[in-house]
A and B are shown apart, each in its own frame.
Chain A
Amino acid sequence: MEAVFSNFGEYLDAFGVTLALFAVSGLASMVLGLVLATMRVGPVSVLRGAAGLYVTVFRNTPLLVIFIFMAVAAPKLGYTFRFVEDVEIAGWNVSAYFTRACIALTLYTSAFVCEGIRSGVNSVQLGQAEAARAVGMTFLQSMRHVILPQAGRAVIPPLASVQIALAKNTSVAAVFGMAEATATMRAFNNNYADQRVQIFLLFALGYIVIVEIISFGSHMLERRAKVA
């Protein structure tokens, strides 16, 4: 216990990095996943095929392999993403490592987001899309105004599990340059070999809190969607 409490600032910083990875990749994967899902159910066969291929590739590739690609292979090919280091957001300097980790997490997670949204879209009756088209809406208009709002409730539970998985998956970044919670846990373990169990429990607790917050949020959203 003492190992963590006497270094509590470090503990919080570590979970701060975990949360930052989660927030950025979570948001980006929702956006990319929505675009992919729209392509996948849309009328343009080239886009349908491209989105299908994307899902096949990134859903079936282990996250670790994607990380290795982004963190080890991409720099070898000359893509270090160090140019992002010139970017400053609200006094924070964006690091190339953070960027690459977020890209890896987003590439992976958006494949699952896409499938979650697609299953929600499929749960909406076909007649709704036909009625939308019959009043002259384009495909995108019908997605935006008719299909997605109705898919909303059906997509909340699957998307919540995807985001929960993402929150835990950020730990892979521990061995790709990010000093997030899991990496910091390892450092604590190295320094305080006699307190390994307590260190483990306190870090596990941090993850449990994050996941509980996500599932609480998703329940609230679901309740609201049910009322509407």
Chain B
Amino acid sequence: MRRMKLGMAAVAVLLAGSLTACGEAGDDDNEGVDVDVKEDAAEDFDEGTRMRELAEEGKVTIGVKFDQPGLGFKGATDDAPSGFDVEMGKILAADLGIDPENIEWKETISDNREPFLEAGEVDLVLATYSITPERRAVVGQAGPYYVTGQQLLVRADSDIDSLDDIRGTEVCSVTGSTSLENIKAEGATPRGFDTYSECVSQVLDGAVDAMTTDGAILLGYAAEQPDDLKVVVEPFSEERYGVGYSLDHPEMCEWINETIEESFENGQWEEAFNLTLGEAGVETPEQPELDPCPAS
């Protein structure tokens, strides 16, 4: 697994290197979106809000995934994570007048996102964090900033291009995940693994016919190896990624939604997507409609 991560990091480095060599992408690829860090941001927020506090402190802690290329990924040798979730985090921080350097990135895994928010270990969570009623009972989830759905990742030369094709085949994902249950319901034999990266290597080696999980995650892997992998079929579930915040600070919801809207309008959201998941050659998705914030 460690080796896999290193392998991915190597790919990422090569990719970055080749891009720089071509002279494309103008600024340093690792920097991602060119965010406009607001000057004197604290003035914009009312006294007593969490946003004001953060702006005055000049730093923020954001929980992201470290193992999902394209969304939140940090290789063993990387200083900071990268991916669409990470870029969205930078956009939010910039609105508080916080420079990307002053963001503390914390790794959150699926199981600890709510506990981290509740305990104040992180201020925000952007970690492929699907909005569900159960989660909204314990934490706040603003957005969605991205809507994805379960799809299939197959080898580039695979014939699979519809859900019907996977009946009777073997499809891998993470052991115990909802994606695996769903694919079983579609008539495939589920093959569970501990991590997505092991599952990807099963696809590459021909040990399984496909991998399944949220399309966004699959796109990240496809972006790393566009010659060997591709994402197929229309999403057959809906996953709406939201920004997690603590219910102790309900005022954050409106601010998050406004900042996301702003990024829709000024093109930063699209830029963030294109620099990360867009690498897979997928068109920029439609801008999702944001849920209204709960009345407080």
Contact = CB atoms under 8 A, between A and B. Distances in A.
Direct contact of A and B (CB under 8 A): yes
Interface in B233-249: none
Interface string B192-210: 1110001001100111100
Interface in A184-198: 185-187, 189-191, 193
A226 interface: no
A119 B202 CA distance: 40
A95 B178 contact: no
A18 to B, nearest CB: 14
B128 to A, nearest CB: 15
Contact of B207 (A75, A185, A186, A189): A75
A72 B190 CA distance: 17
B178 A75 contact: no
B175 A72 contact: no
Given A95-B170, A97-B191, A191-B181, A75 B176 contact: no
Interface string B169-181: 0101001111011
Contacts of B201: 72, 75-76
Given A95-B170, A189-B176, A179 B190 contact: yes
B189 interface: yes
B207 to A, nearest CB: 4
Contacts of B178: 190-191
A189 B176 CA distance: 8
Contacts of A97: 170, 191, 207
A10 B207 CA distance: 25
Interface in A171-191: 174-179, 183, 185-187, 189-191
A96 B207 CA distance: 8
Chain A interface main SS type: helix
Contacts of A75: 201-202, 205-207
Nearest to B202: A75
Contacts of A215: none
A175 B205 contact: no
Interface in A90-113: 95-97
B175 A80 contact: no
B207 A183 contact: no
A133 B70 CA distance: 70
A190 B191 contact: no
A95 B189 contact: yes
B181 A187 contact: yes
A82 interface: yes
A191 B208 CA distance: 25
B192 A175 contact: yes
A174 B192 contact: yes
B157 to A, nearest CB: 16
B181 A183 contact: no
A183 B205 contact: no
A175 B134 CA distance: 27
Given A75-B202, A179-B192, A183-B192, A174 B175 contact: yes
Contacts of B180: 187
B189 A80 contact: no
Contact of A175 (B170, B175, B189): B175
Given A75-B206, A80-B207, A96-B207, A177 B172 contact: yes
8 contacts: A71-B202, A75-B201, A82-B207, A97-B207, A175-B175, A177-B208, A186-B192, A187-B175
Closest 4 CB pairs of A and B: A186-B176, A177-B191, A75-B205, A175-B194
Interface of B: 134, 170, 172, 175-178, 180-181, 189-194, 198, 201-202, 205-208
